Structure 1
Amino acid sequence: MTLKNAFALFVLFSTTYTQAQLKTVSYSDENQKLEGFLATPKIANATKAGVIVLHAWMGISDHEKESAEKLAKLGYFAFVADVYGQGNKPTNTDEAGKLSGYFKNAFDVYQHRIQLAVDELVKAGANADEIAVIGYCFGGTGAIEAARGDLKVKGIVSFHGGLGKDLKRETKQINTKVLVLHGADDPYVVAKEVTAFEDEMRTAKADWQLNMYANAVHAFTHKNAGTDNSKGAAYNEKADKRSWEAMKIFFKELFEKI
C-alpha cells in the first residue's frame, strides 16, 4: 500500500468515525416534525451530564453538529435541537430574520421547543438533573430564554446571542446559572442592551457571568463568517478558543461541583 493510499484510508476512516458520532433523531411538537442530532459519549462523565445545542438563525448547520461532537468527546451527551422544524429551514437571511423573529417574540413557543429537546436528551441517557443549554446567535438568545423560562436545566451558555427582552415582560427569579460570551464590538447587541441585561440578571437574583472578548463582533465562533469585522459578523479565532475554554470551566463547576 502506498503512502498516498494509506493517507486516503486514514482520512476516510476519520471522516466516517466523526460522522458516526451523530445520530439523527426524529421527534415532534404536535403536528410539526422535528429532526435533531444526538452525539453520545464513548465514556460518559460521572454524572451523565447532557448539553442541548441551539442553532443560529439559518437553522441547523455543521457548526452546531461539530459542537455536539466536541461535547461528546468531553464526556457529555449532546443534542442539537431543531427549533424551526422540518420544512422550515430558511433559504436566505430575510426568511431567517422573519422566522427567528417569530420565536423571539413567541418566547413561550421557543422555550417549549427547547424543553422537547431536553426530553429527547434525557431519553438518550443523559441525567435529567444534570442538563445545560448552549446556543449560538439566535440560539444564544434561546439559551437565555431557557433560563428565563425556568426550564429544569442547571446552566446555560450564550455564544454571541441577543440579550434583549421586551420591557413589558416580567423579570422573574432565575435559578439557572448563566454564562454569556459576548463580542465586545458586536454592533447587533448595543451597549444599552448589555446594560439592560445586567440589570435583569441582578433583579432576577441570578448567578451570572458576562465575558467580553476584545476585537470580536457578532458570530465570532463561526469560521464561515469571514474575518472582516466591518461587516458586523466575523470569525475571531482567539475569541472562539477563549469562549470554548470558558464554557468548559463553567461546566466543570456546574457538573463536577468543584
Structure 2
Amino acid sequence: MSLTGRPKVSVIVPTYRDWSGLERCLIGLAAQHYPQDRHEVLVVNNAPEEAAPASMAWPDNARLIVEAAPGSYAARNRGISEARGEVLAFLDADCVPEPDWLESAMACMEAEGADLLAGHITLIYQRSRLTPAECFEKAFAFRQADNAAAGVSVTANLIVRRKVIEAVGAFDDSLMSGGDFEWTRRATMAGFKLVYCPAAVVRHPARHSLASLVQKARRVSTGSMALHNETRVFQGARRVLANIRADLRELFRRPDMTWRERWWALLVMAYLKLVKVHQRLTMTSRTHEPRKLPR
C-alpha cells in the first residue's frame, strides 16, 4: 500500500470506568506502524461523571469525547458522528492491538476488496493454569473466523468503510448487548462484503471468574430477547441451545486444550445455559406481571 494511498482511519474506543484497561489500549495504539498522521483515536467516555485520571498518557492523535446516553453502542455512535476517517475501526477499551494491527487490516481490506473486516482476537490469561471461566473462554470466546463466515462480527475488533455506515445507519443504541451482531448482519444482508483477517490481531483478557461470565450471560440473554422481541420463555430456546452438538464436537477435537480444560469448559457451558434460561424466566415473569391500578 503506497503512502499516498493509505486511507484515513478513525479508531473508536468506548470506555466505561476502566481507565487502567484503556491505558494499556492506548499504549498499543500509540505503537501502531500505521502512520500517525493517517489515523486518529477517539475515546468515548460513557461515564461522564468520572473524569480521566490526570496521569493518563494520551497519544498525540487521540481525542477524548463524552457520551451521556448509557450503553457502548450509544458511545460508538457518538464516535461515528465525530470521526473524520474514510475507514472506522472499532476496538474495546480492554483490548491491546498488536503494533501491525491497523497496517495488516488495511492491507487485508485492500487485497480482499472487503467492506468490513473481522480481525482476530487472542485471549490472554492471568496464569498458565486456567480457571474454569478461562477454560470456557478459551473454548468458545471470540470465534471471529466462524463469525465472519456467518456474516457477523464483534466490535472488539471490527473495521468498516464509512460508506457501509452511510448506507445501513448506525448501531441500535437501544440495545445493551448484541448490537454488534445486529449491525454487522444488517450490513452483510445489504450486500456488503465481510471477511476475516487473521493478521489483524488484538489481545483481550479472558474473563477470569465465573461471576463475570454469569453477568455477561444475563446481559446477552436480556439483549437477545429485546433484539428479537421475545416475550415467552421458550420463544428463543433455539438460540439458547444453538450449536451444542457442533460446539461439543469442536471442543473435544481441539489440540490446544488439555482434558481438564475441556471438561471445565463443558461444565461451565452447561451452567451458563441454565443461567440464560433462568434469566428468560425472570424477564418473562416481569413482562406478564399484572399492573397495579392507581388509587
> TM bucket by the smaller chain?
0.3 to 0.5
TM-score where L is the length of structure 2: 0.30
Which structure: larger Rg? 2
TM-score where L is the length of structure 1: 0.33
